[in-house]
Amino acid sequence: MELKNIVQEFICTENYKISPITNGLINSTYLFEDHDKREKYILQKINTSIFKNPKTIIHNHLEINNLLQKSDYHLKMVNPIHSISNQYLIKTENGEAWRMLSFIENSTTFLKVSDKKTAYEAAKTFGYFLNIINSESIVNIKESLPDFINFEKRMVDYNVSLKTASETFLKNSEKEIELVDQLLDLPEKWIDMEKTQLLPKRIIHADPKISNILFDHNNDPLAVIDLDTIMISTILYDFGDMIRSYTNTTDEDDGNSENNFDPEIYEAVKAGFLLNLKENLTNIEIENLDYAAQVVIYIQAVRFLTDYLNGNIYYSTNYPKHNLDRTKNQLILLKGLREYLNRTL
């Protein structure tokens, strides 16, 4: 099905413009402008080799929006838009799944955090969002990405990739494999805490990177977006991923910097995150924040490296060593964080 036919399923217009938005690594996203009604929307092709059952992400999105609407949530919300025939997903004959979302006007996103205030505000906002979505006891969240936060499986997948990768790929990533292998026991405590159920199960966002917050023209947070990975897991993942995203002073695929970790931002994120959540977290969660930040960055490095060794089949890439550069970048970040934590222990 051509793009123009997909558009017609949602909005009956000939007078429109579509422009790609290129900052995600999984789905394909477009800004859709309806010139007749002067309305903007987000049009998205869901990557169905990763989100195998895209209905679950629509279900979870509606469930969370419903909950937010019932509470006194003060941020804006992105809404799924249904098609003319009342469907939230348009499936094409070749297996693609498309959806449309409402667009929040006068908003900007950042790919990197530039100052402590932005980091603090973003972490505070995610903390606020997490508090509200965990305030109701009955929320029916469905699994959209099985094993996403199964770190034992991430390590198994890495080991399989080491066995199946070509000689050239192994040679190119020799240094990164060595760094990853030096820290093989890092995820063990996490895996153990999950197995022994020491970590409370909560609804988490699971992709709280900086570009998943919309800001207004005063740089104040306007909305939390991208609810695709909403799942039941440990909130330590969200904290770790915020640290991973916000403390990084370089682009996620810059493999050349010497040090890309910003310790002041680390403290700002921690303060912002705990502001709304502290009362509700258990001691074990609070005690493991520094540890979680290290493991989440480590696992992201392992995921990028695994994908490189597998021939770039998961993340979208622009050049053959793109995932290797992403791996390098995460390992530099992890080194900076670990040096900082040892200094402050």
Q: Which of residues 133-152 bind ligand GN1 (CB under 6 A)?
A: 145
Binding piece for ligand GN1, criterion CB under 6 A, among 24-32, 58-66, 78-86, 190-198: 24-32
In three-state secondary structure terms, 16 is strand
CA distance 235 to 223: 19
Contact yes or no for 269/297 (Cβ under 8 A)? no
Distances (CA, A) of 188 to 54, 193, 268: 32, 9, 28
- Beta partners for residue 42, in sequence order: 31, 101
The binder of ligand GN1 chosen from 118, 125, 229, 260 (CB under 6 A): 229
- Among residues 63, 207, 307, 325, which is the contact residue for ligand GN1, using CB under 6 A? 207
* Under rule CB under 6 A, residue 24 binds ligand GN1: yes
Using CB under 6 A, which of the segments 9-17, 19-27, 182-190, 259-267 binds ligand GN1?
A: 19-27
> Does residue 274 belong to the site contacting ligand GN1 (CB under 6 A)?
no
Question: What tokens were used for 236?
Answer: 């330590």
The identity of residue 256, as a single letter, is N
| Helix, strand or coil, per DSSP, at residue 139 | coil
Distance (Å, whole) CA 142 – CA 56: 6
Question: To the nearest whole angstrom, how small is the minimum distance from the Cβ of residue 23 to Mg ion?
Answer: 10
**What stretch of H or E contains 31?**
strand 28-34
Residue 48 CB burial class (10 angstroms; 0-12, 13-18, ≥19): middle
Q: Is 241 in the site for Mg ion (CB under 5 A)?
A: no
* Shortest distance, position 316 Cβ to Mg ion, whole Å: 12
325 binds ligand GN1 (CB under 6 A): no
Residue nearest to ligand GN1 (CB): 26
| Residues 43-62 as x/- pattern, contact with ligand GN1 by CB under 6 A | -------x------------
Q: Which of 25, 204, 242, 289 binds ligand GN1 (CB under 6 A)?
A: 25
- Determine, following the binding rule CB under 5 A, whether residue 226 of this chain makes contact with Mg ion: yes
Can you give the binding site for Mg ion, defined by CB under 5 A? 207, 226
